[in-house]
Amino acid sequence: MQHQLIIHFDTYSSSQELPESIQNLWQKAQEASLKAYAPYSNFSVGCAILLENGEIVMGANQENAAYPSGLCAERVALFHYGVMHIHSPIKAMAIVARNQTGNYTPASPCGGCRQVINEYAEKQKEPFEVFFQADTEFIYHFKSALDLLPIRFGAKNLF
């Protein structure tokens, strides 16, 4: 039996086309990428999370000489959000990356980050949007973070 998965997403040709609130979030993700500790890969990633109360939580990737002891920007931001016990739901997430020349470059969340993003999306029981530079010409916009991991492992699988 064959099945088909269909995932819907929008594209923007530049950050200037993003909704105004997301343009600010995008800028915060860029700022976060400047705080990355990436001496080994020289691949700096920033993540910014917009909460419904308007607050923005940021994270940047943190590398370590003892691979894989580092942590991706998305997980840094989400874990910071979780530790702060902020009671405002996540509304949107923006992810940007810079390569070793300092130019912004395409990067989508890795599998581990997609799993953590999924956990937070399921935990809050309402979707949040995700924006990231997926290729050199487009910013991808997923209206639900759950679309990043269509066949997911979650808490329901443990029982």
Give catalytic residue positions: 74
Q: What angle do CA 90, 95, 97 make, to 5 degrees?
A: 160
Q: Which residues pair with 47 in a beta bridge?
A: 59, 95
SS3 content of the chain, % helix, strand, coil (to 5): 30, 25, 45
CA distance 153 to 116: 10
Helix (H) or strand (E) holding 133, with range, is strand 129-133
Give CA–CA dist 116/154, Å, rounded: 10
Q: How far is CA 71 from CA 32, 76, 87, 116, 143, in A?
A: 14, 7, 24, 12, 25
- 86 φ/ψ sector (left φ>0, alpha ψ -120 to 50, else beta): beta
